[in-house]
């Protein structure tokens, strides 16, 4: 008589059923195909049809820590977020700049940079921070250091690497004008559709800007407009709508 398992899982290969008297060594290699199939059959017969996991109930009562990240941005203090009209105007201007970049990208890629400009290697994250922000700003000794203009080989790989490097710096430092100019230029050269890495980076940027904005004490703070602009571009132009400032 067939077992319940055999009814549910019929044999695909005809195997002669032994009478139980043959000497099968499960620890040794099979000597022929028939013996191999009989070993498999015997091993299967030794396994229980139902296995119950033994769980210690005490372990389930222990407190467990779950790390959850908030998807949206820190809400702006009252009066610190821009109007919808301002946001729409910034998106329109940004779109025009991106169209101009696309139009001239081939021409720029054929130009060679000044030999006196030493570009960091693509994998040199700290080198890119120094290059873009200047030595004093990078070291945190000044916010007025002369920085390099946002002009370099804006290939897809370079844009992603430099953007990641600067956002990493911004996560632990204050906002400075040099940083804002570079971030704007890099966003303008960021190609659509966004790669997953770029998508994550710009959302990280918007959240960092919103967090810093929430700490500002005055609407006259010179950083406010730049922070609002970056949040606006990420949310409105790159369609990260859950990060957008709502009209007050």
- Number of C-alpha atoms within 13 angstroms, CB side, residue 52? 2
Task: Give percent of the chain with pLDDT exceeding 90.
Answer: 36
What are the structural domain ranges in the chain? 4-46, 84-243
d(CA 186, CA 151): 10
Residue 11 main-chain phi, psi, to 5 deg: -65, 135
Please report the pLDDT score of residue 70 as a whole number: 47
Tell me if the bond preceding 65 is cis, omega within 30° of 0. no
d(CA 198, CA 192): 10
Please report the pLDDT score of residue 48 as a whole number: 76
Tell me if the bond preceding 244 is cis, omega within 30° of 0. no
Long-range contacts of 37-43 (CB under 8 A, 24+ apart): 37/13, 41/15
d(CA 179, CA 95): 21
End-to-end CA distance of the chain: 78
Contact predicate 132/148, CB 8 Å: yes
Please report the pLDDT score of residue 9 as a whole number: 53
Q: Which residue has the tokens 């970056």?
A: 230
Contact predicate 168/183, CB 8 Å: no
Instruction: Label residues 150-173 b or e (16+ Cβ within 10 Å = b).
Output: bebebeeebbbbbbbbbbbbbeee
Q: Which class is 84-243 in CATH?
A: mainly alpha
d(CA 70, CA 133): 29
Q: Cα 43–3–42 angle (5° rounding)?
A: 15
Structure-token pair, residue 168: 């990493």
Please report the pLDDT score of residue 170 as a whole number: 94
d(CA 91, CA 73): 19
Contact predicate 144/177, CB 8 Å: no
d(CA 149, CA 171): 22
Verdict on whether the full-model pTM lies above 0.85: no
Please report the pLDDT score of residue 68 as a whole number: 38
Please report the pLDDT score of residue 47 as a whole number: 76
Helix segments in 110-237, DSSP class H: 125-133, 135-139, 156-172, 177-189, 196-213, 223-232
Residues of the chain with confidence (pLDDT) below 50: 21, 63-70, 113, 144, 146-148
Q: Which residue has the tokens 């910034």?
A: 90
């Amino acid at each position: 008589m067939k077992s319940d398992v055999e009814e549910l899982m019929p044999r695909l290969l005809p195997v002669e059923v032994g009478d139980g008297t043959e000497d099968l060594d499960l620890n040794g290699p099979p000597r022929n195909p028939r013996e191999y199939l009989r070993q498999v059959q015997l091993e299967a017969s030794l396994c229980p049809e139902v296995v119950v996991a033994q769980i210690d109930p005490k372990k389930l009562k222990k407190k467990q820590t779950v790390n959850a990240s908030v998807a949206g941005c820190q809400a702006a203090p009252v009066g610190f977020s821009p109007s919808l009209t301002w946001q729409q105007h910034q998106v329109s201007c940004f779109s025009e700049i991106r169209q101009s970049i696309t139009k001239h990208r081939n021409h720029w890629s054929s130009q060679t940079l000044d030999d006196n400009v030493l570009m960091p290697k693509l994998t040199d994250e700290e080198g890119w921070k120094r290059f873009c922000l200047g030595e004093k700003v990078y070291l945190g000794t000044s916010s007025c250091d002369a920085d390099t203009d946002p002009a370099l080989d804006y290939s897809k790989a370079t844009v992603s690497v430099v953007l990641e490097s600067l956002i990493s710096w911004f996560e632990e430092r204050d906002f400075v004008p040099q940083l804002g100019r570079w971030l704007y230029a890099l966003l303008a050269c960021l190609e659509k559709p966004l790669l997953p890495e770029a998508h994550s980076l710009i959302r990280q940027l918007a959240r960092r800007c919103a967090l810093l904005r929430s700490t500002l004490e005055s609407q006259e703070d010179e950083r406010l407009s730049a922070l609002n602009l970056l949040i606006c571009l990420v949310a409105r132009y790159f369609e990260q709508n859950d990060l957008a400032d709502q009209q007050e």
